[in-house]
Amino acid sequence: MLYGINLIVPNVMQFNSFLYCAKMFRMWFSDQYNVIISSAPRFGYLNIRIDDLVLTIRRRARANIYWLDTPLDFDFTPAIYPDELYVTSRFNAELCEKVGLKARLVIPRLINPKFFIWSNTEDRDKRKDFDICIIGYYDKGIDRKNFRLAKRLIDELNLSYIAITNCPFLDNRYEFGKVSERKKYELIASSKWLLHIAFSGGFEMPVLEAMAIGVPVIYSDAPAHNEFAVGLPVTTYNHTLIDTRFGKMHKWEIDYESLEDTVKYAINIEPTKYVSLCTEARYKALDITRNALKKWERILKDFTESR
Protein backbone atom coordinates (compact mmCIF):
# COMPACT_ATOMS: atom_id res chain seq x y z
CA MET A 1 0.00 0.00 0.00
CA LEU A 2 1.28 3.45 -0.93
CA TYR A 3 0.51 6.12 1.69
CA GLY A 4 1.63 8.99 -0.52
CA ILE A 5 4.65 10.87 -1.81
CA ASN A 6 7.51 11.88 0.46
CA LEU A 7 9.70 14.67 -0.89
CA ILE A 8 13.10 14.35 0.77
CA VAL A 9 14.90 17.67 1.21
CA PRO A 10 18.14 18.37 3.12
CA ASN A 11 17.88 20.87 6.00
CA VAL A 12 14.09 20.80 5.78
CA MET A 13 13.77 23.10 8.83
CA GLN A 14 15.40 26.10 7.12
CA PHE A 15 14.71 27.90 3.85
CA ASN A 16 16.68 26.65 0.86
CA SER A 17 16.08 26.35 -2.85
CA PHE A 18 15.41 22.61 -2.70
CA LEU A 19 12.75 23.06 -0.05
CA TYR A 20 11.14 25.69 -2.27
CA CYS A 21 11.22 23.24 -5.21
CA ALA A 22 9.48 20.63 -3.05
CA LYS A 23 6.77 23.09 -2.02
CA MET A 24 6.09 23.96 -5.65
CA PHE A 25 5.86 20.25 -6.57
CA ARG A 26 3.36 19.76 -3.73
CA MET A 27 1.22 22.63 -5.04
CA TRP A 28 0.77 20.84 -8.36
CA PHE A 29 0.06 17.34 -7.01
CA SER A 30 -1.51 17.69 -3.55
CA ASP A 31 -5.04 17.34 -5.02
CA GLN A 32 -4.17 13.90 -6.40
CA TYR A 33 -1.76 12.54 -3.78
CA ASN A 34 -0.89 12.84 -0.13
CA VAL A 35 2.36 14.79 -0.50
CA ILE A 36 4.61 15.36 2.51
CA ILE A 37 8.07 16.95 2.85
CA SER A 38 10.68 15.52 5.21
CA SER A 39 14.44 15.07 5.60
CA ALA A 40 14.53 11.24 5.39
CA PRO A 41 12.87 8.34 3.53
CA ARG A 42 9.51 7.11 4.87
CA PHE A 43 8.25 3.52 4.75
CA GLY A 44 5.18 3.09 2.57
CA TYR A 45 5.79 6.28 0.60
CA LEU A 46 7.20 6.99 -2.82
CA ASN A 47 10.40 8.75 -1.75
CA ILE A 48 11.56 11.46 -4.14
CA ARG A 49 14.83 13.17 -3.21
CA ILE A 50 15.17 16.82 -4.27
CA ASP A 51 18.76 17.86 -3.74
CA ASP A 52 22.13 18.72 -5.25
CA LEU A 53 23.25 16.12 -7.78
CA VAL A 54 26.92 15.92 -6.82
CA LEU A 55 26.43 16.02 -3.05
CA THR A 56 23.69 13.35 -3.20
CA ILE A 57 25.69 10.92 -5.31
CA ARG A 58 28.69 11.42 -3.04
CA ARG A 59 26.95 10.45 0.21
CA ARG A 60 24.89 7.36 -0.73
CA ALA A 61 21.59 9.12 -0.05
CA ARG A 62 18.57 6.81 -0.29
CA ALA A 63 15.35 7.31 -2.31
CA ASN A 64 13.10 5.68 -4.90
CA ILE A 65 13.50 8.60 -7.28
CA TYR A 66 16.26 11.20 -7.43
CA TRP A 67 15.38 14.61 -8.96
CA LEU A 68 18.62 16.54 -8.82
CA ASP A 69 20.56 19.50 -10.19
CA THR A 70 23.94 21.11 -9.57
CA PRO A 71 26.45 23.78 -10.67
CA LEU A 72 29.23 21.52 -9.31
CA ASP A 73 31.50 19.07 -11.10
CA PHE A 74 32.18 15.43 -10.27
CA ASP A 75 35.71 15.10 -8.87
CA PHE A 76 35.12 11.60 -7.46
CA THR A 77 33.72 8.18 -8.38
CA PRO A 78 29.97 8.06 -7.64
CA ALA A 79 29.00 6.19 -4.48
CA ILE A 80 25.62 5.18 -5.96
CA TYR A 81 24.23 4.63 -9.46
CA PRO A 82 20.45 5.18 -9.14
CA ASP A 83 18.13 3.59 -11.68
CA GLU A 84 15.57 6.36 -11.29
CA LEU A 85 17.81 9.39 -11.72
CA TYR A 86 16.18 12.53 -13.15
CA VAL A 87 17.99 15.82 -13.71
CA THR A 88 16.74 19.30 -14.54
CA SER A 89 18.94 20.13 -17.55
CA ARG A 90 20.93 18.68 -20.42
CA PHE A 91 23.98 20.25 -18.79
CA ASN A 92 23.51 18.03 -15.74
CA ALA A 93 22.74 14.97 -17.88
CA GLU A 94 26.08 15.44 -19.65
CA LEU A 95 27.88 15.74 -16.30
CA CYS A 96 26.36 12.40 -15.31
CA GLU A 97 27.49 10.69 -18.50
CA LYS A 98 31.11 11.64 -17.85
CA VAL A 99 31.18 9.54 -14.67
CA GLY A 100 29.04 6.65 -15.89
CA LEU A 101 25.71 7.81 -14.45
CA LYS A 102 22.60 7.54 -16.59
CA ALA A 103 19.93 10.19 -16.21
CA ARG A 104 16.66 8.59 -17.32
CA LEU A 105 14.88 11.88 -17.93
CA VAL A 106 15.46 15.61 -18.01
CA ILE A 107 12.60 17.20 -16.04
CA PRO A 108 12.74 20.94 -15.32
CA ARG A 109 11.69 22.28 -11.93
CA LEU A 110 8.04 23.20 -11.39
CA ILE A 111 7.10 26.76 -10.49
CA ASN A 112 4.09 28.20 -8.71
CA PRO A 113 0.94 27.42 -10.76
CA LYS A 114 -0.62 30.68 -9.57
CA PHE A 115 1.94 32.64 -11.60
CA PHE A 116 0.26 31.38 -14.77
CA ILE A 117 -3.21 32.10 -13.39
CA TRP A 118 -2.41 35.61 -12.21
CA SER A 119 -0.57 36.58 -15.40
CA ASN A 120 -3.47 35.27 -17.49
CA THR A 121 -6.15 37.23 -15.65
CA GLU A 122 -4.40 40.49 -14.83
CA ASP A 123 -3.28 43.42 -16.96
CA ARG A 124 0.11 42.53 -18.42
CA ASP A 125 0.37 45.94 -20.10
CA LYS A 126 0.43 47.92 -16.86
CA ARG A 127 3.22 50.44 -16.29
CA LYS A 128 6.64 49.04 -15.41
CA ASP A 129 8.10 50.64 -12.28
CA PHE A 130 11.61 49.17 -12.62
CA ASP A 131 14.10 48.58 -15.41
CA ILE A 132 15.23 45.27 -13.93
CA CYS A 133 14.44 42.76 -11.22
CA ILE A 134 17.14 40.65 -9.55
CA ILE A 135 16.38 37.46 -7.62
CA GLY A 136 18.62 35.06 -5.74
CA TYR A 137 20.59 34.09 -2.69
CA TYR A 138 23.90 35.87 -2.18
CA ASP A 139 26.84 33.79 -0.98
CA LYS A 140 29.70 36.24 -0.51
CA GLY A 141 32.29 33.48 -0.74
CA ILE A 142 31.18 32.48 -4.23
CA ASP A 143 28.80 35.15 -5.61
CA ARG A 144 27.53 32.65 -8.18
CA LYS A 145 24.72 35.01 -9.18
CA ASN A 146 27.23 37.80 -9.99
CA PHE A 147 25.59 40.38 -7.71
CA ARG A 148 28.74 42.48 -7.55
CA LEU A 149 28.75 42.78 -11.33
CA ALA A 150 25.04 43.61 -11.31
CA LYS A 151 25.62 46.38 -8.74
CA ARG A 152 28.39 47.88 -10.88
CA LEU A 153 26.06 47.85 -13.88
CA ILE A 154 23.19 49.44 -11.92
CA ASP A 155 25.42 52.26 -10.71
CA GLU A 156 27.08 52.96 -14.05
CA LEU A 157 23.84 52.97 -16.07
CA ASN A 158 21.68 54.47 -13.31
CA LEU A 159 19.14 51.67 -13.59
CA SER A 160 15.99 51.49 -11.52
CA TYR A 161 15.70 48.08 -9.93
CA ILE A 162 14.04 45.87 -7.36
CA ALA A 163 15.78 42.89 -5.77
CA ILE A 164 14.61 39.81 -3.89
CA THR A 165 17.80 38.80 -2.14
CA ASN A 166 19.82 38.80 1.04
CA CYS A 167 22.62 40.71 -0.74
CA PRO A 168 23.63 43.58 1.60
CA PHE A 169 24.85 46.02 -1.04
CA LEU A 170 21.63 45.99 -3.10
CA ASP A 171 19.59 48.61 -1.24
CA ASN A 172 16.19 48.40 -2.90
CA ARG A 173 15.49 44.84 -1.83
CA TYR A 174 13.06 42.43 -0.23
CA GLU A 175 14.55 39.65 1.87
CA PHE A 176 15.09 36.44 -0.06
CA GLY A 177 13.00 33.59 1.34
CA LYS A 178 10.68 35.91 3.27
CA VAL A 179 8.60 37.37 0.44
CA SER A 180 5.13 35.96 -0.17
CA GLU A 181 4.49 34.35 -3.54
CA ARG A 182 1.95 37.05 -4.36
CA LYS A 183 4.43 39.82 -3.55
CA LYS A 184 7.14 38.13 -5.58
CA TYR A 185 4.78 37.94 -8.53
CA GLU A 186 3.96 41.65 -8.21
CA LEU A 187 7.62 42.66 -8.01
CA ILE A 188 8.59 40.66 -11.09
CA ALA A 189 5.54 41.88 -13.01
CA SER A 190 6.40 45.50 -12.20
CA SER A 191 9.83 45.11 -13.83
CA LYS A 192 10.62 45.36 -17.52
CA TRP A 193 13.33 42.68 -17.39
CA LEU A 194 14.73 40.02 -15.10
CA LEU A 195 18.51 40.37 -14.89
CA HIS A 196 19.99 36.93 -14.30
CA ILE A 197 23.75 36.70 -14.89
CA ALA A 198 24.73 33.70 -12.77
CA PHE A 199 28.03 32.20 -13.91
CA SER A 200 26.49 28.68 -13.84
CA GLY A 201 23.61 26.73 -12.38
CA GLY A 202 21.74 23.45 -12.45
CA PHE A 203 18.45 25.07 -13.49
CA GLU A 204 17.69 28.60 -12.09
CA MET A 205 13.97 28.82 -11.22
CA PRO A 206 13.71 32.67 -11.22
CA VAL A 207 14.26 32.61 -14.99
CA LEU A 208 11.26 30.34 -15.56
CA GLU A 209 9.17 32.26 -13.02
CA ALA A 210 9.78 35.58 -14.79
CA MET A 211 9.00 34.02 -18.16
CA ALA A 212 5.71 32.62 -16.83
CA ILE A 213 4.72 36.16 -15.81
CA GLY A 214 5.63 37.45 -19.26
CA VAL A 215 8.87 39.17 -18.26
CA PRO A 216 11.81 38.38 -20.57
CA VAL A 217 15.31 37.80 -19.25
CA ILE A 218 18.70 39.41 -19.72
CA TYR A 219 20.79 36.33 -19.02
CA SER A 220 24.35 35.07 -19.04
CA ASP A 221 24.93 32.59 -21.86
CA ALA A 222 25.86 29.83 -19.39
CA PRO A 223 24.29 26.53 -18.30
CA ALA A 224 21.73 25.65 -17.44
CA HIS A 225 19.36 28.61 -17.80
CA ASN A 226 20.65 29.25 -21.33
CA GLU A 227 18.89 26.02 -22.36
CA PHE A 228 15.44 27.59 -22.00
CA ALA A 229 15.66 31.34 -21.28
CA VAL A 230 13.80 33.76 -23.55
CA GLY A 231 15.18 37.27 -23.78
CA LEU A 232 18.63 38.69 -24.50
CA PRO A 233 21.82 36.64 -23.90
CA VAL A 234 25.05 38.14 -22.59
CA THR A 235 28.31 36.80 -23.97
CA THR A 236 30.39 34.55 -21.70
CA TYR A 237 33.91 33.17 -22.06
CA ASN A 238 36.71 31.29 -20.27
CA HIS A 239 34.95 28.26 -18.79
CA THR A 240 36.86 27.12 -15.67
CA LEU A 241 36.38 25.10 -12.51
CA ILE A 242 36.73 27.02 -9.26
CA ASP A 243 37.27 25.71 -5.73
CA THR A 244 34.36 26.18 -3.29
CA ARG A 245 33.53 24.70 0.10
CA PHE A 246 31.13 22.35 -1.70
CA GLY A 247 33.66 21.16 -4.29
CA LYS A 248 34.67 22.16 -7.82
CA MET A 249 32.13 24.50 -9.42
CA HIS A 250 31.69 25.39 -13.08
CA LYS A 251 32.18 29.05 -13.94
CA TRP A 252 31.75 31.04 -17.14
CA GLU A 253 33.10 34.60 -17.08
CA ILE A 254 30.77 37.46 -18.07
CA ASP A 255 31.89 39.77 -20.87
CA TYR A 256 31.14 43.11 -19.20
CA GLU A 257 31.10 45.08 -22.45
CA SER A 258 28.52 42.66 -23.83
CA LEU A 259 26.50 42.97 -20.60
CA GLU A 260 26.51 46.75 -20.75
CA ASP A 261 25.58 46.86 -24.45
CA THR A 262 22.82 44.29 -23.98
CA VAL A 263 21.23 46.17 -21.08
CA LYS A 264 21.39 49.50 -22.93
CA TYR A 265 19.63 47.87 -25.87
CA ALA A 266 17.05 46.24 -23.57
CA ILE A 267 16.11 49.48 -21.85
CA ASN A 268 15.53 51.22 -25.19
CA ILE A 269 14.09 48.30 -27.14
CA GLU A 270 11.29 48.98 -29.61
CA PRO A 271 7.90 48.35 -27.98
CA THR A 272 6.77 45.84 -30.61
CA LYS A 273 9.95 43.78 -30.16
CA TYR A 274 9.56 43.88 -26.39
CA VAL A 275 5.94 42.74 -26.50
CA SER A 276 6.94 39.91 -28.82
CA LEU A 277 9.60 38.74 -26.34
CA CYS A 278 7.11 38.94 -23.46
CA THR A 279 4.65 36.75 -25.35
CA GLU A 280 7.34 34.28 -26.40
CA ALA A 281 8.63 34.03 -22.83
CA ARG A 282 5.22 33.26 -21.38
CA TYR A 283 4.36 30.60 -23.96
CA LYS A 284 7.79 28.99 -23.57
CA ALA A 285 7.33 28.77 -19.79
CA LEU A 286 3.88 27.27 -20.24
CA ASP A 287 5.20 24.68 -22.70
CA ILE A 288 8.11 23.73 -20.41
CA THR A 289 5.76 23.31 -17.46
CA ARG A 290 3.19 21.28 -19.40
CA ASN A 291 5.87 18.87 -20.60
CA ALA A 292 7.31 18.50 -17.08
CA LEU A 293 3.85 17.79 -15.66
CA LYS A 294 3.16 15.14 -18.31
CA LYS A 295 6.38 13.35 -17.38
CA TRP A 296 5.60 13.45 -13.67
CA GLU A 297 2.03 12.29 -14.18
CA ARG A 298 3.27 9.25 -16.09
CA ILE A 299 6.00 8.49 -13.52
CA LEU A 300 3.65 8.78 -10.54
CA LYS A 301 0.96 6.69 -12.24
CA ASP A 302 3.47 3.92 -13.02
CA PHE A 303 4.83 3.86 -9.45
CA THR A 304 1.44 3.95 -7.73
CA GLU A 305 0.02 1.19 -9.93
CA SER A 306 3.03 -1.05 -9.24
CA ARG A 307 2.57 -0.86 -5.43
pLDDT tens digits for range 119-131: 987 766 677 999 9
Q: Which CATH superfamily includes the segment(s) 113-288? A: Glycogen Phosphorylase B; (3.40.50.2000)
What is the structure's pLDDT at 140? 86
From first CA to last CA, the distance across the chain in angstroms is 6
3-state class of 124 per DSSP? coil
What is 59-110 written as a DSSP string? TT---SEEEEE-SB---S--S---SSEEESSHHHHHHHHHTT----EE-PPP
**What pLDDT shows up at residue 227?**
97
Q: What is the pLDDT of residue 14?
A: 53
Residues of the chain predicted below pLDDT 50: 13
Quote the pLDDT of residue 2: 74
The conformation of residue 127, written as its DSSP 8-state character, comes to P
pTM reported for the whole predicted model: 0.95
| DSSP-derived pairing of the beta strands 4-8 and 45-52 | parallel
In this structure, how many other beta carbons lie within 10 angstroms of the beta carbon of residue 272?
Answer: 8
Contact 35, 16 (CB under 8 A): no
* 70 in Cβ contact with 243 (< 8 Å): no
* Domain residue extents for the chain: 4-107, 113-288
CA distance 274 to 261: 16
